[in-house]
Homo-oligomer: A and B are copies of this chain.
Amino acid sequence: MTMKLIISNGTFASLRPGAKRTAVTGTMVIENDMIVFLGEHLPQEHDTPEAVRIDGKGLFFMPGLINTHGHAAMSLLRGYGDDMVLQTWLQEKMWPMEAKFTAEDVRWGTALSVLEMLKGGTTTFVDMYDHMDEVAKVIEESGMRACLMRGAIGLCPADVQEAKLREAVQFARDWHGKADGRITAMLAPHAPYTCPPGFIEKFVQAAHDLDLPLHTHMSETAAEVAQNVADYGLRPVAHLEKLGFFSRPSFVAHGVHLTDEEIEVLARHEVAVSHNPGSNLKLASGVARVPELLRAGVTVSLGTDGPASNNNLDMFEEMRLAALIHKGVSGDPTAVPAAEAMRMGTLYGAQTIRAEKLGLLEPGMKADIVAVHVNQPHFVPHTDFVSHMIYSASAKDVAHVWVDGRQVVKDGQCLTLDEERILYEAGRCFERLLER
């Protein structure tokens, strides 16, 4: 049976590059998981009595936000060590705790993050972690969309490396296309500085064999770039290029420290960059060259990174940071305008993960939709809703969320997950990690 939803009197983001206006007011029709109409007046053929109808007055509708880099289960370590030197933070805080993570910890940490993301308007996220079966099960239950991969650190004996690679491949085989297509898989050697070249090459080969894209961390800190040069005589981009990484559809997280030549290479190979401004600032990694990347034609999307280094999963905040910091650091107030920041959080995110049917509110696209209440003080006057979403909004302003045509958040409440249980279990997991 066809499920039809008609949203009338709404204002909808119009983000296709080159569009004359960034918002249109009118009616949207959704059939099952797809948008089938958006325009001023409802055509008669869609005006059917069995349709569910929503009055969109006072709501601004935008494409679901796409978080292109993260480690959801690390929410269990939110606030457990801040304002520290990176190596101390990793060695004394993060790694000892993460080494104790069980499948159950990953389950509840991920559920906590998925709950936060859905309520905050993020409909798709990229997750690179361990115990990925647990992550996939949470996605299945939550109704969210995700691009999942087992992140493999190769600083270990050959047999352990092999086991990790097998696990990554098996996960991709088991879950790619599952949950009604809401789950896709990728392969992800963790980073050039944590994976020997031969290990990365095996992932490249596996990606060819499975016809899957690749993802990795790259050039997050100046120190890791210097280390790459010391170890291999090449900066990370040339290093990954040499290992064949860019022969696959691929994207990298961070990309903070890039030369003009490296930007050129990324553009040539159509390698997208997941820009993680909150994490990069908090860990003092630096400020990525986003205006230069965009000018060079590189697809730049946004990621929160793990909640321990952010410390929330509010994609409105990442869009705002992207719009603000590149102005402040470059001295150019026209850098990353509001509509471009919103594309980074939506359309460019879709392009990053090669999801052709996500990122725009248009007929033929998936119905991944966020509605924000605009009759609030910080959105008045109603001058420019895209500006308001970028410069004034937060995750807490989200009223309703649909993924794949199914409503998953209504009036700020998640319909698919048990919030009270998740908060309780996540708190308990953290207490047990401390005791273990």
Contacts and interface: CB of A to CB of B under 8 A. Distances in A.
A375 B311 contact: no
A312 B378 contact: yes
A32 B192 CA distance: 62
Given A116-B377, A334-B85, A383 B80 contact: yes
Interface residues of A, number: 73
Given A78-B380, A380-B75, A89 B333 contact: yes
B377 A422 contact: yes
A155 interface: no
A313 B116 contact: no
Contacts of A278: 324
Contacts of A286: 328, 331
A334 B85 CA distance: 7
Nearest to A425: B380
Contacts of A77: 383
Oligomer copy total: 2
A329 B287 contact: yes
Nearest to A427: B381
Interface stretch (A156-164, A211-219, A362-370, A388-396): A388-396
A391 B317 CA distance: 11
A76 B310 CA distance: 32
Given A79-B383, A283-B333, 6 more contacts: A79-B381, A80-B384, A86-B333, A285-B328, A317-B320, A377-B422
15 contacts: A78-B378, A80-B384, A84-B333, A89-B333, A112-B380, A116-B378, A119-B377, A284-B330, A286-B328, A311-B392, A314-B378, A317-B320, A377-B419, A380-B427, A396-B397
